[in-house]
Amino acid sequence: MSIALLGSRPTRLFVLLAAFFVGNAVVAEFVGVKIFALESTLGLPPFGWNLFGQTGSLSFTAGVLLWPIVFVMTDVVNEYYGRRGVRFISFLAAGLICYAFVFAYLAIHLAPAEWWVTVNGERGVPDMQAAFANVFGQGLWTIGGSLVAFLVGQLIDVGVFQRIRRATGERWIWLRATGSTAVSQLVDSFVVLYIAFVLGPQQWPIPLFLAVGTVNYAYKLAAAIALIPAIYLMRRAIERYLGETEARRLKAEAAE
């Protein structure tokens, strides 16, 4: 790759967007092992929800904090770099997630130093090796379900985005961004849970699967709507950085 190509603004912008996208996707996979209670986090009493016969507090994986940012990055890349751009960063992210899990697996199986195993006993962690293995050693069903759901969701997102774009042209940016997320995340929210927890060793009952999937989807949809202003702000900043002529050229090529 020539210095001139690296120095072009569209290339630098794509590298920045891709790096931020991949970084958020990888971090979301690892922090997603933690489940948090929404009401307790906000200092509120339990809502006592009842959905598909399931009751209790609203619980989410910590990864949901980062996935909305991934959605925004997907829509921005789709806007300026089209299907090929989104597919490239999606497969790149999936490959690096696999890479990260392989090395996490290898790290788990390294023989721990004896002093390290008990070093945090006074802080409530009597066995650091067990804690490390539990946090980073997500089951293959969870990893597989997450990756399949991620790739399927991304490919659906880019398809729906471009269909809405062809129908509306440059109007209604919010509609193609939110509409594509609404459809793709409906699939993503249920596929990952079904593979990881229904087909996997935990074998969740269908009512629990439907309840958790519905709550997670509702959150993602609400986050997508809340982030509509962020999409407009990013679009304005990008077009100021690229210049009107270059931005128009990229969007025209992306729409083809």
What confidence score (pLDDT) does residue 6 get?
63
Two tokens, residue 15: 């590298």
Torsion sign over Cα 123, 125, 129, 135: negative
Q: Is the pTM of this model over 0.85?
A: no
Q: Would you place residue 4 in the very low, low, confident or very high pLDDT band (cuts 50, 70, 90)?
A: low
Residues 14-54 have pLDDT tens digits of: 999 999 999 988 888 888 777 788 888 888 887 777 777 77
Q: Would you place residue 140 in the very low, low, confident or very high pLDDT band (cuts 50, 70, 90)?
A: low
- Please check the confidence at residue 3 and state whether its pLDDT lies above 60: no
- Please check the confidence at residue 111 and state whether its pLDDT lies above 90: yes
CA 203 to chain centre: 24
Instruction: Of 95, 72, 73, give the one whose Cα is nearest residue 17.
Output: 73
**Secondary structure (DSSP) of 7-48:** HSHHHHHHHHHHHHHHHHHHHHHHHTT-EEEHHHHTT-----
Q: For 110, which DSSP code?
A: S
Percentage of the chain with pLDDT > 90? 13
CA atoms of 101 and 200, how far apart (whole Å): 18
- Give the domain ranges of the chain: 3-34+69-111+126-255
The CATH fold assigned to 3-34+69-111+126-255 is Arp2/3 complex 21 kDa subunit ARPC3 (1.10.1760)
Q: What is the chain's mean pLDDT, rounded?
A: 83
What confidence score (pLDDT) does residue 252 get?
85
What confidence score (pLDDT) does residue 115 get?
92
